Amino acid sequence: MASTAHLGRQLTIACLVLLLVSLTAIAGCGEEASVEQADDDRELRTTPGRLDMRDAVSAFEVSVMASQDSYPEGSDVVLIATGHDWPDALGGSALAGVLGGPILFASTNTLPAIVADEIERLGATRAVVLGGDAALGLNIDDELRRLGLSVERIAGAGRYETAERVARRVIEVLGDDYDGTAFVATGGSYADAVAVAPVAAARGWPVYLAHPTGGIVTYSENAYDGVESTIVLGGVNAVHAGAEAHLRNDFSVLRIAGQNRYHTSVMIAEYGIEEAGLSWARLGMATGEDFPDALAGGVLQGRIGGVMLLTNPDVLDAHTSAALDVYGDQIVDVTFFGGADAISQEVRAAVMQALE
């Protein structure tokens, strides 16, 4: 359980989809619940003024709420990704971090009204669309222009070239401020890439994708220009040993790999704290069974310097639970990204219990 050395502190529970859902399992948004324990007057409460989005059902709602919390005063730029599939969106967290704007999701051929409204609230003047027209139709560009935005589209022939081009854009934006660190994640799944989203967004470390069997494939001579060290995410079933050996020909390589995606997310969080300046204080949690919540929420987490843990929607993973037990005394608030289908009330209650 969390150390009693901090039992006098307040634990603010964020209540959203995203924003601020009470960890108490019975306390609703806007209510305050006190947990009385021996020698413990810590108050578990919701943060006033936040919306309870536990019933949110779409990626669009999650991305909008994350945007509102990340940029309450607005932003000049927005990134647009498909809310229906993950490959083209995975590198967006680092680019959102360096450009200073949120990731908002769209349907393949339609910009949802809730997203258009958020773009107007932000006062954005430019949009960066991630992926080709199979992911997001060209009429999305037209809708954005009708809202008064200039549009830049970053797309390759497939997910690997798109990721490479997004990574190059990150390095280009940073220029001399880029420190040479990059992530390499599998292009065969999304979990490791979304778990690292807060770190990528906070530090501007681009995310390249490796083919599960083909390894490292580059589409331009300058694909990795400026990169000096790489951090491979996941085990050899995700990024195989041949890909790591290929990287070692040119860069230093560190591999972060756990026993499953949840364990890996814990190890990524630990790395983000130890090496990237993030902290446990403002923890984010998202489902490990889908990508949008963790990706959009990762930008918010990076902006506030917090890490992200993934969980099974219905059962708190043992590795995640163990991390809460070890680091609970450092956690000040928790944001659940996603509605009840993404993270069940039972899991939220288990988190609360682990932090008592």
For 181-233, write each residue's pLDDT tens digit: 999 999 999 999 999 999 999 999 999 999 998 889 889 989 999 999 999 99
pLDDT in tens, 113-153: 999 999 999 999 999 999 999 999 999 999 999 999 999 99
Model confidence band, residue 169 (pLDDT cutoffs 50, 70, 90): very high
Whether 292 has a pLDDT exceeding 60, the answer reads yes
Extract the tokens encoding 169.
Answer: 């854009």
Query: pTM of the prediction?
Result: 0.86
Mean pLDDT value across the chain? 86
Strands (E), the chain: 11-13, 32-34, 43-46, 77-82, 103-106, 126-130, 150-154, 181-186, 207-210, 229-233, 252-256, 279-287, 306-311, 333-337
pLDDT of residue 126: 98
| pLDDT of the residue at 54 | 53
- As a whole number of angstroms, the distance between CA 10 and CA 124 comes to 36
Q: Which CATH number fits domain 57-155: 1.10.287, 3.10.20, 3.40.50, 3.10.350?
A: 3.40.50
| Mean pLDDT score, 82-95 | 89
Q: Is 330 helix (H, G, I), strand (E, B) or coil?
A: helix
Q: What is the pLDDT of residues 31-85, one digit of tens each?
A: 333 323 333 333 433 333 333 445 556 889 999 999 999 999 999 999 999 988 8
% of the chain exceeding 90 in pLDDT: 76
Any idea where the domains of the chain sit in the sequence? 1-16+19-52+278-356, 57-155
Could you tell me the two tokens for 219? Answer: 């589409």
